[in-house]
């Protein structure tokens, strides 16, 4: 219990969504847990990097948040237990899937946009 196995260089995991091999060490993070191409993750941690969760279900990227420093994070929701988690984006995450995620609410607004005040009375 609680023993840390040594982190080998070149450790990688297979993306749950697109089956791409993803190295866990990436520019900007040493605990990459999501795919740079489709941004899906997997529920393997209780706390970041501990690999102690028994859930192991795929985690869907559902939103982008911007922190106080202006840094982007991805919000993941576990498809197994529903837990929400924030993850810093990695330096080599692809821009298009990140932008698509950030723009998703604008592309699919939950209310009609023409109901918004126009600012031109």
Instruction: For the CB of residue 6, give the shortest distance to Zn ion in the complex, in Å.
Output: 26
The yes or no reply on residue 81 touching Zn ion (CB under 5 A) is: yes
The yes or no reply on residue 55 touching Zn ion (CB under 5 A) is: yes
- Residues forming a β-bridge with 86: 75
Instruction: For the CB of residue 1, give the shortest distance to Zn ion in the complex, in Å.
Output: 20
Say if CB 9 and CB 24 are below 8 A apart: no
Closest by alpha carbon to 102, among 64, 47, 52, 49? 64
Say how many C-beta atoms besides its own lie within 10 A of residue 20's C-beta. 14
Q: Per-residue x/- mask for Zn ion, residues 8 to 47, rule CB under 5 A?
A: -------x-xx-x--------------x-xx----x----
């Amino acid at each position: 219990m609680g023993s840390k196995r040594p982190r080998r260089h070149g450790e990688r995991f297979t993306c749950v969504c697109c089956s791409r091999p993803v190295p866990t060490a990436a520019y900007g993070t040493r605990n990459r847990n999501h795919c740079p191409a489709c941004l899906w993750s997997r529920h393997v941690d209780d706390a970041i990097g501990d690999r102690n969760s028994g859930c192991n279900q795929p985690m869907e990227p559902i939103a982008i948040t911007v922190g106080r420093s202006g840094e982007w994070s991805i919000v993941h929701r576990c498809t197994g237990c529903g837990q929400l988690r924030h993850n810093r984006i990695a330096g080599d995450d692809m821009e298009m899937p990140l932008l698509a995620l950030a723009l998703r609410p604008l592309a699919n607004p939950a209310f009609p946009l023409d109901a918004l005040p126009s600012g031109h009375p």
